[in-house]
Amino acid sequence: MSAAVAHEPLTRSVEDYLKAIYQLSPEGRPASTSEIANLLALSPPSVTGMVKRLSEHGLLEHVPYRGVQLTDAGRRAALRMVRRHRLIEAYLVEFLGYSWDTVHEEAERLEHAVSETMIERMAGALGNPSVDPHGDPIPAADGSILERACIALSDVPIGENVEISRVHESQPERLRYIASLGLRPGVQVTVVDRQPFDDLVTIEVGTDKQVIGRELGHALLCARKVKP
């Protein structure tokens, strides 16, 4: 099926495309040209052009006007980049004094420049962590990834107590705001009220109450407590 097998090293652009497509469709649903263009801040024609090249290299399949899906080779390469990105973020926070709002930008560049050796040394220094500073799971070196079941804070029923497990946000300003509310992976919150419009939920964090809007409520992914 896949055309080219011998893999010359991928370019920075190619690596970012594959990672973006993976993140747009972790389960394999096709990603559209404009979604990709939007995520990477490129024009749609640029994406069409790159997609054509990538499909010739066997990294994805493209049905014109319908979207793209990663092949196995493409998904492997994408997961490799996700591993790199998240390990770098974790390393920067643990060893170089970064906070979670500044690591993304740095990792976005370093993920392409670091050798396999260095990534594994960093993983070792961290004790092979399973999640990054935003709570996102770090794929193993073999490409396996453990996605824990989670629910958006916006969808948590009234009265339920949940633990924030992931924060899906990369803009520094927003991340600082979230931190200022005391919200980060591992924190317990209880939903005490919900509005019938705009996905507004009121939560209790420790002793504080906060009203959370739609966007933020969808960015905060929570783990439900197991029924005893």
Partner DNA sequence: CCGAGATTTTAGGTTAGCCTAATACTGTAT
Partner DNA sequence: ATACAGTATTAGGCTAACCTAAAATCTCGG
Provide the binding-site residues for DNA, judged by CB under 7 A. Answer: 11-14, 17, 32-35, 41-53, 62, 64-65, 67
> 211: helix, coil or strand?
strand
CB 133 within 8 A of CB 89: yes
Site string for its own copies, 117-136 (x = CB under 8 A): xx--xx--x-----------
Which partner, Mn ion, DNA, its own copies, none, binds residue 110 by CB below 5 to 8 Å per kind?
A: its own copies
Examine residue 14 and tell whether it contacts its own copies (CB under 8 A): no
Examine residue 95 and tell whether it contacts its own copies (CB under 8 A): yes
CB 59 within 8 A of CB 69: no
> 179: helix, coil or strand?
helix
Single-letter amino acid code for the residue at 64? P
DSSP-derived letter for residue 218 is: H
Task: Please identify, using beta-carbon distances, which residue of 51 and 201 lies nearer to DNA.
Answer: 51
State the nearest-atom distance from the C-beta of 113 to DNA, in Å.
14
d(CA 10, CA 22): 16
Summarize as ranges the residues that interact with its own copies (CB under 8 A): 92, 95-98, 102, 105-106, 109-110, 112-115, 117-118, 121-122, 125
